[in-house]
Amino acid sequence: MSNKMWGGRFASGPGAIMEEINASIDFDRHLYRQDIAASKAHADMLAKQGIIGADDAKKIAHGLDAILSEIESGKFSFKRALEDIHMNVEGRLGELIGEAAGWLHTARSRNDQVATDFRLWMRDTIDALDIALAGFQRALCHKALEHAGTVMPGLTHMQTAQPVTFGHHLLAYVEMAARDRGRFADARKRLNESPLGAAALAGTSFDLDRDMTAKVLGFDRPAANSLDAVSDRDFALETLAAASITAVHLSRLAEEIVLWTSPLTGLVKLSDKFTTGSSIMPQKRNPDAAELVRAKTGRVIGALSALLIVMKGLPLAYAKDMQEDKEGSMDALSALALSIAAMAGMVTDLEPDTARMKKAAGEGYATATDLADWLVRSLKIPFREAHHITGRIVAKASEAGQPLHRMPIAAMREIEPRISEDVFSVLSVDRSVKSRTSFGGTAPKNVRAQAKKWLRKLEKEKS
């Protein structure tokens, strides 16, 4: 049997392989809500413009509502033979309301329909991701406030560099998440134009009110060029690009959690809630959730590059290639949503071993810069020279196997005779972090103020 929707010139239906490669219903069924909302808006507008009868429009609206509840209650049977969500819905509408259903597709095409549905879906997804990222930020801020004064080793090149506070480290991710949210918000702004009414590619001879459907669907305006409206997938690319950067950020924190929870460092503990055991090694406590967040980044970046490749070199206007936009995007963005939730959960759950962190912070002569700064400030020695003197003191301390703050003053004076007892006031890790009060620095005072500022901002957003 030929296809009911488009089979007029076909004597028979597609072959099995054709049907299999062509059908998108297995994934575009997730667009049902958006598809039904857009169809209702379209039918209302057609009736208002006198293009279809008011009675028919009413029947269409009722039928679409009935389909929505069928789908939501799991009673709808999706048919592969009907290819995609658009024809599944329209096919069922015909069964429910008969001939009136035939008016719905006036002055539209699946091309503007799918572009509209997918934009609406992407917009809903961006909104949900934004809420999730705000939750992640809140979790980070609460933990940061709790640990504003917890000293940990700050690293560069994975080498002990200078002591920092754990709260400060966590707030770095709050900044990243803020930029992530900004990127999603930017993408959302450009996304928010309605393709509906562009029809197949050229517009239509019917007197449509595209402003009306745009408004009803919450778009800012109708897309201005019908060819562009049906063939543009920038909104998906931009969202996936923002998602990729977000996933990269999450993977960095995930990697840190893996390192911190390793017995090799033992800086942080995760509870049973976010760890798993090994089936052979009874002592193990594996940070699987963090590892999976780290790994899911691959899917997100993969979806972005897959879609870039789909779009590359694609001539205007619509081509079936674009059907490949949905599966990867949906998979990637749901993986991202899960990753954000898991990271927020882990941040709340994790407990630093503050004693161990402090000890590690003091290892590796982490306060050497503080000594150099003291020489500059107290003895008015130029920094380059102070750096050199400090290097010699560190070498001496290291030979003696002593940390800087335990070094006898006499030993230091052999290198710089003017050094006084006052130097010990800057050599402890606590003094070191406390002194970093420059704007954006790691001092507990700064961290407390920043965390509170963010929490106030996040609280305000909610209302």
For the annotated catalytic residues, the residue numbers are: 157, 278
Residue 170 binds to ligand ARG (criterion: CB under 6 A): no
Classified as helix, coil or strand, 154 is strand
Tokens 């840190």 correspond to 256
C-alpha R_g of the chain: 31
Cα separation, 175 vs 159, whole angstroms: 24
Of 310 and 372, which has the nearer Cβ to ligand ARG? Answer: 310
- Report the interhelical angle of 234-261 vs 110-146 (nearest 10°): 30
The minimum distance between CB 327 and ligand ARG, in angstroms, equals 10
Interface pick for ligand ARG out of 34, 39, 111, 239 (rule CB under 6 A):
111
The minimum distance between CB 115 and ligand ARG, in angstroms, equals 8
Of 6 and 383, which has the nearer Cβ to ligand ARG? Answer: 6
Interface pick for ligand ARG out of 97, 114, 191, 336 (rule CB under 6 A):
114
Tabulate helix, strand, coil % of the chain (nearest 5). 70, 5, 25
Interface pick for ligand ARG out of 187, 212, 322, 350 (rule CB under 6 A):
322
Q: Kindly state the number of chain residues that form the binding site for ligand ARG, as judged by CB under 6 A.
A: 10
Query: Do 197 and 185 touch, CB atoms closer than 8 A?
Result: no
Tokens 């620095």 correspond to 441
Of 67 and 114, which has the nearer Cβ to ligand ARG? Answer: 114
Nearest to 268 by CA among 370, 205, 200, 353: 353
Cα separation, 451 vs 442, whole angstroms: 12
Residue 226 binds to ligand ARG (criterion: CB under 6 A): no
**CA-based torsion, 72, 73, 75, 80: positive or negative:** positive
Of 22 and 271, which has the nearer Cβ to ligand ARG? Answer: 22
The minimum distance between CB 181 and ligand ARG, in angstroms, equals 29
Residue 232 binds to ligand ARG (criterion: CB under 6 A): no
> 382 is written with which tokens?
């130029």
Q: Can you name the residues that pair with 286 across neighbouring β-strands? A: 276
Residue 246 binds to ligand ARG (criterion: CB under 6 A): no
Stretch that binds ligand ARG, among 60-68, 142-150, 302-310, 318-326 (CB under 6 A): 318-326
Contacts of 80 (CB under 8 A, 6+ apart): 19, 20, 23, 25, 26
Of 84 and 193, which has the nearer Cβ to ligand ARG? Answer: 84
The minimum distance between CB 214 and ligand ARG, in angstroms, equals 20
Binding-site string for ligand ARG from residue 21 to residue 60, where x marks contact by CB under 6 A and - marks none: ---x---x--------------------------------
List of long-range contacts for 453-460, beta carbons under 8 Å, 24+ apart: 454/137, 454/141, 454/171, 454/174, 455/138, 455/141, 455/142, 455/145, 458/134, 458/137, 458/138, 458/141
Stretch that binds ligand ARG, among 58-66, 109-117, 136-144, 238-246 (CB under 6 A): 109-117
Of 29 and 269, which has the nearer Cβ to ligand ARG? Answer: 29
Stretch that binds ligand ARG, among 142-150, 168-176, 204-212, 319-327 (CB under 6 A): 319-327
The H or E element containing residue 354 is: helix 354-362
Of 118 and 374, which has the nearer Cβ to ligand ARG? Answer: 118
Interface pick for ligand ARG out of 92, 110, 294, 434 (rule CB under 6 A):
110
Residue 368 binds to ligand ARG (criterion: CB under 6 A): no
Rule CB under 6 A: which of 80-99 touch ligand ARG? 84
Interface pick for ligand ARG out of 323, 329, 442, 450 (rule CB under 6 A):
323
Of 117 and 373, which has the nearer Cβ to ligand ARG? Answer: 117
Cα separation, 204 vs 100, whole angstroms: 21
The minimum distance between CB 237 and ligand ARG, in angstroms, equals 16
Q: How many helices (H) and strands (E) does the chain have?
A: 18, 6
Tokens 């004693």 correspond to 355
Nearest to 69 by CA among 86, 87, 92: 92
Q: Which residues bind ligand ARG (CB under 6 A)?
A: 24, 28, 84, 110-111, 114, 318, 320, 322-323
